[in-house]
Amino acid sequence: MSGQPYYITTAISYPNGKPHIGHAYEAIVTDAIARFHRLSGRDVFFQTGTDEHGLKMVQTARDKGIEVTSLSNEMSSLFREMCDLLEISYDRFIRTTEPAHHAASQALWNAMEASGDLYLGRYEGWYSVRDEAFYDDKELIEDPAGGEGKRLSPQGTPVEWTVEESWFFRLSKYEQPLLDHFSAHPEFIRPESRLNEVLRFVEGGLSDLSVSRTSFDWGVKVPGGGGHVMYVWVDALTNYLTGVGYPDNDVDYAKFWPADLHVIGKDIVRFHTVYWPAFLLSAGIALPKQVFGHGFLLARGGEKMSKSLGNVVDPVDLVELFGVDALRYFLLREVSFGSDGSYSPEAIVTRVNADLANNFGNLAQRSLSMIAKNCEGVVPNPGASTLAELQLFEAITAADKAASAAMHGLALNTALEAIWQGMSAANLYFAEQAAWTVRKTDPTRADTILYFTLEAVRRLAILASWAIPGGCAKILTLLGQPASPSFADLDIPINPGTPLPTPVGAFPRLELPA
């Protein structure tokens, strides 16, 4: 698998407001998966970015009294800054306002038109500006707070009756091909609950889809003129092709397409698993291998966070309070990937202090401090190993295997749980072997204990570096090791005699904010 290409994406974020913790969560989990595959030796291409067209952007800019291009530039920069702050290792941050993306979207449109799947008509129906989505009557729900007759989208957002000339995509044509694909590739939609939702939707019958608008002009122009701009989801979904060079860069396109994994929120699964594959089938383009619809990160009281509800949490504020490592570790460890999750300051402090400060960080700090004091600041020479060392590394090997299996199943929290079982084994070894006491009677055995403790810390830092890259890099530097490792380095033990820098704490204890 080493060197094999791997293409992973987040959904691109809609920047009509500042990033919130939900955006941060998606970026963090996708980054963790990308880092894991890089550590495994794969040639990873990781894309994220912003989806900057559509009616919501026009309305937001108008409300602010600014040009939509100014809003687009300002807000997109905030999403990029969030990614950089969270140590998101993206290879490309794409913007749908880029000329290359307009060209790719128009190329996809032309390919769908050449298949006979686009026709001009008149759209009359329900549209949700907030979702940038069209809905059939049968999909709408009654508004429990809005009085008789007022209806909402399936997401609970307002809808309005829209009438305008539109290009339509023959989505109905792809009902059976989609069902055939889902049957042949049940791994295409994960987790299984999302697959079941999509199956029910498609089996209920697909209507042709309106794919252009004439009521505004902020978007990718439909080829051939006529005053139409593409429906924002045609434009947005095409970003995954743009990023790997479609239609002109044959080298990157051939290398990375089809995408291995799209990581998206569960509220946009339909767009990615019904519309997107239908567009690709029409254009004669291979479908992505997998789409994973993760759950929501909920606010206090179990409420979904959204800009419209005004209950968003700024990830920059959380980083200032707790640090990047703490926020990354908590979200990856506490939220079961695919399910909804929640957080609180108390939960972050409790988990991070227990796992990072008291377990991992304390083990590294105590062992390194003993070496600085008793071994002249260099890695000691080990003597003969015993059953205790054999059992220690059996536990770490077991943690490695369990974590790898969990990551390949996209069970990120389970992978971290496995690694921290290895951490606990290393802490137990260090406590039971008690090098500080043994040194009084057997300095060689004490050096052996310290050496194998450092080697355990080194391996565990490599295993955990996809989750908390900053802290693990710090620990590896304190061990005199490269700060950017790979899993292949697990089998290259630390050299006795390696000079070590003055030990410092890698994971400070957290306090509850006032």
Q: What is the distance, to the nearest Å, from the Cα of residue 195 to the centroid of all Cα atoms in its chain?
A: 19
- What separation in angstroms does the CA of 118 have from each of 86, 168, 395? 42, 5, 59
Q: Count CA atoms closer than 13 A to 304's CA, side-chain side.
A: 14
Q: What is the distance, to the nearest Å, from the Cα of residue 409 to the centroid of all Cα atoms in its chain?
A: 15
* Tens of each residue's pLDDT in the chain, 514 residues: 568 999 999 999 999 999 999 999 999 999 999 999 999 999 999 999 999 998 899 999 999 999 999 999 999 999 999 999 999 999 999 999 999 999 999 999 999 999 999 999 998 878 887 777 778 777 888 876 665 557 888 878 888 887 889 999 999 999 999 999 999 999 999 999 999 999 999 999 999 999 999 988 999 999 987 899 999 999 999 999 999 999 999 999 999 999 999 999 999 999 999 999 999 999 999 999 999 999 999 876 666 666 566 677 899 999 999 999 999 999 999 999 999 999 889 999 999 999 999 999 999 999 999 999 999 999 999 999 999 999 999 999 999 999 999 999 999 999 999 999 999 999 999 999 999 999 999 999 999 999 999 999 999 999 999 999 999 999 999 999 999 999 999 999 999 999 999 999 999 999 998 7
**Burial classification of residue 279, based on how many CB atoms lie within 10 Å of its CB (0-12 exposed, 13-18 middle, 19 or more buried):** buried
- Cross-sheet strand order for the sheet of 160-169: 133-135, 118-128, 160-169, 209-210
Residues 501, 115: Cα–Cα separation, whole Å: 64
420 token code pair: 């921290």
Residues 159, 156: Cα–Cα separation, whole Å: 9
